[in-house]
Amino acid sequence: MKIFFWKSLATKNETLVAVVIVAFCLLATFSDPLFLSVTTLTDLLRASVVIGILAVAAMMVLISGGIDVSFTAIAVFAMYSTTVLTLGVMPDMPWYCIFAISIGIGAILGAINGFFVVICRLPTLIVTLGTLSVFRGFLLTFIGSQRISALPPEMRGFSRMMITRGTTEAGSFYAIPWAVAALVIVVLLTLFILHKTMLGRSIFAIGGSLESARRIGINVRGAQFFVYCYVGALAGLAGIIHGAMGRMADPFSLVGLELSVIAAVVLGGARLIGGYGTLTGTLLGVSLIVLVENSLIVVGIPSTWQFVTIGLLILLGTGLPAWQAKRAAAKSA
């Protein structure tokens, strides 16, 4: 009985979010039969790529017991400076080199976070709040504050590379860009790291109990440092994809999104205290947020109510388990 309760609690968020998503889709299909179409689906998929990669990154930090709010600044920094660099040095650089540079810049910025968290032992929220302004301020002051729409040709080329495209019987156009593959790769890679390597298990262990992890000889500093570098690298990837797909390098974009991304991750069941978080949950959380952001109007809620809806979802998704845990604690002596 007791074990069943805990198990259901552990998976509560995922099931809750899944149920809400299904209900949403049913309602949407009911009010607009066209909703459940390949076109909608591919549109939503496209919209989830950047936020999805960022969410996987944010989940990683939460699992390790920290929090990172600077990843959007890293993403935009990496994207914009890579674009500027490419245009200045070698505009015809192949897209994968451009991506590699952006990922590299992201990883370096992540390492800066890692330095302050791991070596200086500062609280993660404060460090990343600080680096959020530092990265963004540095970018806008020293690298540039103009939108660049003349992207390197290979970046524009990437945004046109499609896995599949076509026209439905109803005559609407649909396409799945290769960028979606990036999200798939990130998910698989993270899945591998978290569940098939000792490093990944160490990250879970550190999130579960930092002190115990030290006592049994886990390389705590190394693992934490890795987490912040990995988050930076993923942010660099998400940033460059955002730039390529939006066909513009906008130094003002992305920043401000960090709390919604963390919201998506927390909706998916990751806990702020560390040690808990699943990719399934995170992806479900992302789906829900993307669904609400793009299709609220379909279920008859004006899109001006989008913030209210997401806010209420966060309160519900985190409030329910918190309240249950509180009641369970009161029950036992």
Partner 1 sequence: MSKHDDDTFIEMKGIGKQYGGVTALEDVDFRVKSGEAICLAGENGSGKSTLIKILVGVEQPTSGQIFIDGKSYNHLNPRQAAAVGISVIFQDFSLFSNLTVAENIAFATHLSEKKRLFDRSATRRIAQEALDRIGVEIDLDARVETIPVAHKQLVAICRGLASNARLIIMDEPTTALTGREVQALLRIIRKLKDSGIAVVFVSHKLAEVLEVCEEVFVLRNGTNVADGPACDFDAASLTRHMTGRNISEAKPPLNIDQAKNLLVVDQLGKLGAFEDIDFELKEGEVLGISGVLGSGRTALAKALFGLVAPDRGSIALSGKNVALGNPIAATQAGIGYVPEDRLTEGLFLTQSIIRNVSVGRFDHHRSGGFLDLASLVNEARGWIEKLRIKAPDFEAEVKSLSGGNQQRVALARWLSQAPRVLVLNGPSVGVDVGSKADIHAIIRELAESGIGIVVISDDLPELLATCGRILMMKDGRIDSIVMAEETNEIELAAKLAS
Partner 2 sequence: MTLHLLTKQNASTPEFRLAIIAIVVFITMSALSPDRFLSSQNIVSMAFQFPEFAILALAMTITMMTGGIDLSVVGVANLTAVISALILVNFAGADATGMVALLWLFAAFASAVLVGALSGLFNGILVARLGLPPILATLGSGLVFTGIAVAMTGGSAVMGFPDVVAWIGNAQVLLVPVPLIIFVLLAAALHVILTKTSFGLQATMYGANPLAALFAAIDINKLLIRVYVISGVLSSIAGMVIMSRANSAKADYGSSYLLLAVLIAVLGGVNPYGGYGRVMGVVLAVLSMQFLSSGLNMLQVSNFARELIWGALLIFVMVVNTADWSRFGKAKSGY
**Going by DSSP bridges, is the β-strand pair 162-167/173-177 parallel, antiparallel, or unpaired?**
antiparallel
Cα torsion through 55, 184, 279, 286, rounded to 10: 40
Q: Is 144 a residue that touches partner 1 (CB under 8 A)?
A: no
Residue among 132 and 244 whose Cβ is closer to partner 2: 132
Least distance in Å: CB of 237 to partner 2? 23
Residue among 198 and 322 whose Cβ is closer to partner 2: 322
Q: Which of 212, 307, 326, 328 binds partner 1 (CB under 8 A)?
A: 212
Distance of CA 129 to the CA centre of its chain: 17
Q: Is 225 a residue that touches partner 1 (CB under 8 A)?
A: no
Q: Is 329 a residue that touches partner 1 (CB under 8 A)?
A: no
Stated as kind and residue range, the H or E segment containing 148 is: none
What are the two backbone dihedrals, phi and then psi, of residue 177, each rounded to the nearest 5 degrees? -75, 165
The stretch near partner 1 (CB under 8 A) out of 37-45, 147-155, 205-213, 300-308 is 205-213
Least distance in Å: CB of 97 to partner 1? 29
Q: Is 217 a residue that touches partner 1 (CB under 8 A)?
A: yes
Q: Is 201 a residue that touches partner 1 (CB under 8 A)?
A: yes
* Per-residue burial over 163-192, b = 16 or more CB atoms within 10 Å of its CB, e = otherwise: eeeeeeeeeeebbbbebbebbeebbeebee
Q: Is 160 a residue that touches partner 1 (CB under 8 A)?
A: no
Instruction: Please choose which of partner 2, partner 1, none residue 333 contacts, taking the beta carbon within 5 to 8 angstroms, the exact cut-off set by kind.
Output: partner 1
Tokens of 333: 């002596």
Least distance in Å: CB of 59 to partner 1? 14
The stretch near partner 1 (CB under 8 A) out of 5-13, 82-90, 121-129, 260-268 is 5-13
In 3D space, the residue among 277, 227, 275 whose CA is nearest the CA of residue 71 turns out to be: 227
What's the CA gap between 74 and 13, in Å, rounded? 29
Helix axes of 71-89 and 124-138: crossing angle, nearest 10 degrees: 30
What's the CA gap between 185 and 191, in Å, rounded? 10
Instruction: Kindly state the number of chain residues that form the binding site for partner 1, as judged by CB under 8 A.
Output: 29
Window 231 to 290, contacts with partner 1 (CB under 8 A): 275-276
Least distance in Å: CB of 137 to partner 1? 34
Q: Output the CA torsion sign for 33, 35, 41, 42.
A: positive
Q: Is 328 a residue that touches partner 1 (CB under 8 A)?
A: no
Q: Is 323 a residue that touches partner 1 (CB under 8 A)?
A: no
Q: Which residues are near partner 1 by CB under 8 A? A: 2-3, 6-7, 10, 195-201, 204-205, 207-209, 211-213, 215-218, 275-276, 330, 332-333
